[in-house]
Amino acid sequence: MFACGLSLFAVVSFLEEISKSIGACQNVVSDAKSAQKPPAPPGFLSISRKKLLQNLEINAGARVNAWVDSMRASSPTHIKSTPSIADDGGSWNLSHPSALEMFEQIIDASKGKQIVMFLDYDGTLSPIVADPDRAFMSKKMRKTVRKVAKCFPTAIVSGRCRDKVYNFVKLAELYYAGSHGMDIKGPEKLSKSNKDTELLFQPASEFLPMIDEVYRQLVETTKSTAGAKVENNKFCLSVHFRCVDEKKWSELAHQVKSVLKDYPKLRLTQGRKVLEIRPTIKWDKGKALEFLLESLGFANCTDVFPVYIGDDRTDEDAFKILRDRGQGFGILVSKFPKDTNASYSLQEPDEVMDFLRRLVEQKELSVDCKSSVENLIEL
Ligand SMILES: [Mg+2]
CA 61 / ligand 1 centre spacing (Å): 27
CA distance readout (Å), 19 to 23, 26, 28, 103 = 9, 10, 10, 41
Where does the pLDDT of residue 378 fall: very low under 50, low under 70, confident under 90, or very high at 90 and above? low
The CA 111 to ligand 1 mean position distance, Å, reads 28
- 22-31, 146-155, 197-206, 261-270: least confident range: 22-31
**Distance from the alpha carbon of residue 112 to the mean position of ligand 1, in angstroms:** 30
- pLDDT tens-digit readout, 330-354: 999 999 898 999 999 999 999 999 9
- Across the range 323-334, mean pLDDT stands at 96
How does pLDDT run across 302-317, given as a tens digit for each residue? 899 999 999 988 899 9
180-201 average pLDDT score: 75
Q: How confident is the model at residue 194 (pLDDT cuts 50, 70, 90)?
A: low
Ligand 1: centre distance to CA 127 (Å): 9
Mean pLDDT on 14-19? 33
Determine the pLDDT at residue 218.
Answer: 98
Q: How far is the CA of 4 from the centre of ligand 1 (A)?
A: 5
CA of 201 to the centre of ligand 1 (A): 22
| CA 156 to ligand 1 centroid distance, Å | 11
User: Of residues 77 and 47, which shows the higher confidence score?
Assistant: 77
pTM above 0.95, yes or no: no
pLDDT at 225 over 50: yes
> 332 to each of 43, 97, 205, 338, 351, how far by Cα in Å?
16, 10, 30, 9, 11
Cα of 317 from ligand 1 centre, angstroms:
13
43 pLDDT exceeds 70? no
- Mean pLDDT throughout 24-34? 31
pLDDT of amino acid 64: 67
pLDDT reading at 45 higher than 60: no
Cα(120) to centroid(ligand 1), Å: 5
pLDDT of residue 39: 35
More confident residue, 39 or 227: 227
Domains in the chain (CATH in brackets) are 8-83+205-279 (3.30.70.1020), 91-203+283-378 (3.40.50.1000)
Question: Higher confidence at residue 128 or residue 322?
Answer: 322
The pLDDT of residue 168 = 97
How close is the Cα of 316 to the center of ligand 1, in Å? 11
Q: How far is ligand 1, taken at its centre, from the CA of residue 178, in Å?
A: 12
Q: Which pLDDT score is estimated for 7?
A: 34
From ligand 1's centre to the CA of 121, what distance in Å?
5
CA of 257 to the centre of ligand 1 (A): 25
Residue 193 has pLDDT above 90, yes or no: no
Average pLDDT over residues 353-359: 98
Please give the pLDDT value at position 169: 97
Q: Which of 327, 313, 309 is nearest to 145 (CA)?
A: 309
Amino acid 300: pLDDT: 84
Residue 77 has a pLDDT of 47
Higher per-residue confidence, 68 vs 166: 166
Q: Which of 300, 164, 174, 326 is nearest to 233 (CA)?
A: 164
Per-residue model confidence (pLDDT) at position 188: 77
In this prediction, residue 20 has a pLDDT band, given cuts at 50, 70 and 90, of: very low
Which range (53-57, 254-258, 290-294) has the least confidence?
53-57
- Tell me, what's the pLDDT at 66? 73
Distance 20 CA to ligand 1 centre (A): 31
Q: Is the pLDDT of residue 52 over 80?
A: no
Given a cut of 50, is residue 365 above it in pLDDT? Answer: yes
| 36 alpha carbon – ligand 1 mean position (Å) | 36
69 pLDDT tier (thresholds 50, 70, 90): confident
Is 90 exceeded by the pLDDT of residue 56? no
Condensed to tens digits (0 to 9), the pLDDT of residues 90-125 reads 788 888 999 999 999 999 999 999 999 999 999 999
Question: What is the mean predicted confidence (pLDDT) over 259-283?
Answer: 90
